[in-house]
């Protein structure tokens, strides 16, 4: 009988100690609060649909991309660009293309070396951001 009373007493004391230690941990840990954006960032990894705003272009951006032309200027003071699937070249004077000297390029009479150069320039025209600028805007 003494052993049973000692066992019950030990269980009651250990239960009280466990409850006290657990309540202190809950108080010190604090409550975790998730914002809506945290939940969104966590869940977007599990869904395949892209909901980011960055992937959508505004009408102004689409119009500017349609109305602008990228130009590549080489070390030989030549400028190259493509308009309506025609490859053009002109001279560069004072770091500005002289569009009065513009003429379409005839690739049918070019050597392989010249043709490879034109293909490299054409690849560079298609590469990069659509909104790429040559200036920082601090001029």
Which residue ranges make up each domain of the chain?
A: 67-126
Residues 6+ apart with CB under 8 A from 103: 88, 89, 90
Would you call 83 helix, strand, or coil by DSSP? strand
Residue-level pLDDT at 24: 58
Q: Distances in Å between the alpha carbon of 70 and those of 73, 84, 94, 137?
A: 10, 13, 19, 17
Residue-level pLDDT at 139: 46
Strands 86-93 and 72-73 turn out to be unpaired
Phi, psi angles (nearest 5°) of residue 137: 85, 5
65-101 pLDDT tens trace: 777 888 888 888 888 888 888 888 899 998 888 889 8
10-residue mean pLDDT series, the chain (139 residues)? 83 84 60 77 70 67 80 85 86 88 86 86 71 52
């Amino acid at each position: 009988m003494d052993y049973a009373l000692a066992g019950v007493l030990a269980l009651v004391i250990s239960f009280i100690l466990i409850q006290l230690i657990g309540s202190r941990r809950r108080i010190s840990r604090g409550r975790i609060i998730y914002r809506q954006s945290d939940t969104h960032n966590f869940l977007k990894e599990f869904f395949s649909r892209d909901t980011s705003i960055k992937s959508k272009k505004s009408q102004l951006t689409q119009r500017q991309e349609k109305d602008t032309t990228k130009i590549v200027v080489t070390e030989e003071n030549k400028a190259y660009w493509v308009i309506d699937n025609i490859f053009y070249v002109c001279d560069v004077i004072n770091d500005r293309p002289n569009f009065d000297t513009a003429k379409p390029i005839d690739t049918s009479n070019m050597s392989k070396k010249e043709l490879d150069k034109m293909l490299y320039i054409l690849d560079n025209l298609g590469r990069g951001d659509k909104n790429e600028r040559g200036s920082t805007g601090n001029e």
